[in-house]
Chain A
């Protein structure tokens, strides 16, 4: 997976490319719109992360040019301004997502993976399995080591999200938005509590523990052999 980052702020650009590289992506970083367009047209990137305010040529123009040259790779906008019109403009021009600074890196990573996954999903799996934890989507049943675990509807949704994206660190905001449709920050530790309760049912009586807290980032569900 190859990602092109067009970001003129050097510190932000470097951290983004480092973070994405460490997450297993190949990354090209350029610092102005003209280079960005050039790389976007010449290269074979699977995704472009585009800052709106750029020297030379702004993000809107880069995107418009890419699309008019038939480049259809997903584009994720970064901006310091959160205006509804900007959002609409970006989406109209064919941007795939939109992140307002300051954003957490976990959030960006989750969005990048969502955008890349979009469009190439084959058949929806009817069941998922991580280690000895199994989730049956049709019968909405969860078992671990063959034992049935009773979950509430939202707990099931939460576990489904974690398993669907196992191995990825999911930030709290993404969890709140995907599971509860709460698209704003709550000033409570409600996600922690919900996660604690889910763990009590899924992890506490079993070995190994599958749901991990990544401090300052979010939560991840993964089998221990994936941990380093």
Chain B
């Protein structure tokens, strides 16, 4: 469920959570500091008042005068409570004051103490007080008076309550605003993604030239945009090759179909001898066989290029296949007085029929383009993690510009190289490439003035993984 949540929502939630934690922590810190501060203030105040009471008592000549002056003090300090005790017996203090009910155990350690009575909150302090010697009945060995002094802290409580309310409101507001800001920032940060998405929406088969704006997006997205651009580049190249190919296919089929149609219609236009009809039909049959071969080659290519699982795998001696095929092409080679020779050997695991077909295509190609008396040599070499089968034939160089496209379907280097016997379908080399790719290998060509060499290159690694 979390996986489906939008990135913006996730970032906003995280941002809000973090700011809430920080702000709530800060709120607690502030209220704690304020409370501490109040305690310190109150302690100072109470100590101050204890000193004052001491001074008043010390300066008074009699307890009565002291009482009167203490009463005056209390009227001018609202919320202050004072009680004097002598041997746990109240000698001064308001009648019914909450101080009277305070157990003697509380605050005995000389530190401030808090307690509540009813709805009253109090903070108090105990101290000892020695009355002046002039007071009646005052003797040096008499126990000092006990002074209890307290402060009503209701105003602190009020303040804290309102502080907490203010803080809470502020926190809620701040969290909401930071959440909003987080959402905005996330949205803005992810804006380039939206741009990329909109750009991808405009890509169609006809508009594969669209590219993502790599410079306009932040570095984090630049890699993604670059990756998409590379993908588009590959698709565009493949697609245009496919388009070119279907155009070529239509053209390749149109010519023979047109010939057949014209020939058939012309021959139907008037009565002819039986032998003429036989001739025409035979010629049609030949043309149709070529078409059928083209279609079956196309199907073979389509299947092989779809990354088929090799139907049969067996260990094959390459040189044996080459020699078998030499026997097949023997008659053709001898006609052109071409000497075929082969050397080296290697064993590979492959689909025998396919590899045979690839080698056969290479040999027929070499014999076709070799000049009379020129040699056709096959070499099989092994090493460096690969096995190579190369077919060399003498003959004029293939222009360098044509080399990379030679394995494309229906590609013919130049008119003079086109099939003189019109037997070929223009798919021979493409079939070689497709077969090699199905075996995890490659097909390549090199050509110079003396020699043209086609190589089938198997990687031993790919072969072992297939076996």
B281 touches A216 (CB 8 A): yes
Q: Does B286 contact A (CB under 8 A)?
A: yes
Render A183-199 as a binary contact track against B, CB cut-off 8 A, 1 for contact: 11111111001101100
Cα A182 to Cα B357 in complex, Å, equals 8
Task: Return chain B residues, CB-CB under 8 Å to A102.
Answer: 288, 291-292, 295-296
Give the distance to chain A from B53, nearest Cβ to Cβ, in Å.
110
Shortest beta-carbon distance, A179 to chain B, in Å? 9
CB-nearest residue of chain A relative to B278? A215
Q: How far is the CB of B177 from chain A (nearest CB, A)?
A: 66
A183 and B331 within 8 A (CB): no
A217 interface contact, C-beta 8 A: yes
Convert B321-340 into 0s and 1s, putting 1 for each residue whose CB lies closer than 8 angstroms to a CB of A. Answer: 00011011111101100000
* A104 interface hit (Cβ, 8 Å): yes
- In the complex, the answer to whether B328 meets A176 with C-beta atoms within 8 Å is yes
Given known pairs A189-B421, A190-B364, the reply for A215 and B282 (CB within 8 Å) is yes
Contacts A104-B289, A104-B292, A182-B356 given; does A187 touch B328 at CB 8 Å: no
| CB of B425 within 8 Å of the partner chain | yes
A190 to chain B: closest residue by CB? B332
User: Is A82 within 8 A of B299, CB to CB?
Assistant: yes
B460 within 8 A of A: no
Q: Is B353 touching A183 in the complex (CB atoms < 8 A)? A: yes
Rounded to whole Å, the gap between the CB of A31 and the closest CB of chain B is 24
0/1 per residue, A97-110, Cβ < 8 Å to B? 00010111000000
Whether, in the assembled complex, A1 has its beta carbon less than 8 Å from a beta carbon of chain B, the answer is no
Asked if A124 is at the interface (CB within 8 A of a chain B CB), the reply is: no
Given contacts A84-B311, A102-B295, contact A194 B283 (CB under 8 A): no
Residues of B within 8 A of A153 (CB): 327
**CA distance in complex: A100, B289 (Å):** 13
* A188 in contact with B356 (CB, 8 Å): no
Selected from A100, A103, A180, A215, the residue in CB contact (under 8 A) with B327 is: A180
CA distance A160 to B279 in the complex (A): 29
Q: Tell me, in angstroms, the Cα distance from A103 to B295 when the chains sit together.
A: 11
Chain A residue contacts of B368, Cβ below 8 A: 188
Number of A positions contacting B (CB below 8 A): 28
| A21 on the B face (CB < 8 A) | no
A180 near B286 with CB under 8 A, answer no
Question: Which residues of A, 195-220, contact B by the 8 Å Cβ criterion?
Answer: 196-197, 215-217
Closest to A155 in B: B331
A154 within 8 A of B: yes
Pick the residue among A181, A185, A188, A216 that contacts B332 (CB under 8 A). Answer: A188
Among candidates B288, B324, B423, residue contacting A188 with C-beta atoms closer than 8 Å: B423
The residue on B at minimum CB distance from A213 is B282
Interface residues on B, range: 35 or more
Contact residues of A between 84 and 121, Cβ < 8 Å to B: 84, 100, 102-104
Chain A: interface secondary structure? Answer: loop
How many angstroms between the C-alpha atoms of A102 and B289 in the bound complex? 9
- For chain B residues 288-318, which have a beta carbon within 8 Å of chain A? 288-289, 291-293, 295-297, 299, 303, 311
Residues of B within 8 Å of A104, CB to CB, are 285, 289, 292
- Pick the most buried of A154, A184, A196: most chain B CB atoms within 10 A of its CB: A184
User: With A187-B423, A188-B364, A188-B367 given, is the CB distance from A217 to B285 under 8 Å?
Assistant: yes
Would you call A184 and B332 a contact (CB within 8 A)?
no
Q: A183-B353, A215-B282 are in contact. Are A190 and B421 (CB under 8 A)?
A: no
In contact, B331 and A216 (Cβ under 8 angstroms): no
Q: B428 on the interface (CB 8 Å rule)?
A: yes
B43 at interface (Cβ–Cβ under 8 A)?
no
A216 and B296 within 8 A (CB): no
Q: Are A187 and B285 in contact (CB under 8 A)?
A: no
Chain A residues near B329 (CB-CB < 8 A): 188, 190
Does B357 contact A184, Cβ atoms closer than 8 Å?
Answer: yes
Among A190, A215, A217, point to the contact of B331 (Cβ < 8 A).
Answer: A190
User: Contact: A186 with B421, CB < 8 Å?
Assistant: no
Pick from A82, A184, A189: contact of B353, CB below 8 A.
A184
Does B361 touch A at the CB level, under 8 Å? yes
The smallest C-beta distance from B332 to any residue of chain A, in angstroms, reads 5
How many Å from the CB of B313 to the closest CB on chain A? 13
B424 shortest CB reach to chain A, Å: 4
Question: Does B360 belong to the interface (CB within 8 Å)?
Answer: yes
Q: Are A182 and B328 in contact (CB under 8 A)?
A: yes
Name the residue on B nearest A87 (C-beta): B311
Q: A102-B295, A187-B428 are in contact. Are A182 and B289 (CB under 8 A)?
A: no
Complex-state Cα separation, A194 to B360, whole angstroms: 16
Contacts A84-B311, A154-B327, A215-B286; A185 near B281 (Cβ below 8 A)? no
Q: Which residues of B contact A183 (CB under 8 A)?
A: 353
Question: How far apart are the CA atoms of A102 and B331 in the complex, in Å?
Answer: 29
Q: Chain A residues near B291 (CB, 8 Å)?
A: 102
**Bound form: Cα–Cα A100–B297 in Å:** 13
A194, chain B: closest CB distance, angstroms? 4
Given contacts A180-B328, A181-B324, A189-B421, is CB(A216)–CB(B285) below 8 Å? yes
The chain B residue sitting closest to A153, CB to CB, is: B327
Cross-chain contact A216 with B423 (CB below 8 angstroms) = no
Known pairs A215-B278, A215-B279, A216-B281. 20 more at Cβ < 8 A?
A82-B299, A103-B292, A152-B330, A154-B330, A180-B324, A180-B327, A183-B353, A185-B297, A186-B360, A188-B368, A189-B332, A189-B421, A190-B331, A190-B364, A193-B332, A194-B331, A194-B332, A197-B334, A216-B283, A216-B285
Task: Write the residues of chain A forming the contact surface with B, with a CB cutoff of 8 angstroms.
Answer: 82, 84, 100, 102-104, 152-154, 176, 180-190, 193-194, 196-197, 215-217
* Residues of B bordering A, CB below 8 Å: 278-279, 281-286, 288-289, 291-293, 295-297, 299, 303, 311, 324-325, 327-332, 334-335, 353, 356-357, 360-361, 364, 367-368, 419, 421, 423-425, 428
Q: Mind listing 20 A-B residue pairs with CB under 8 Å? A: A102-B296, A103-B292, A104-B285, A153-B327, A184-B356, A184-B357, A184-B360, A185-B293, A186-B328, A186-B364, A187-B428, A189-B423, A190-B329, A190-B332, A193-B332, A194-B330, A215-B282, A216-B281, A216-B285, A216-B289
Listed from nearest, the 5 A-B pairs whose CB atoms lie closest are A216-B285, A215-B282, A216-B282, A194-B331, A187-B424
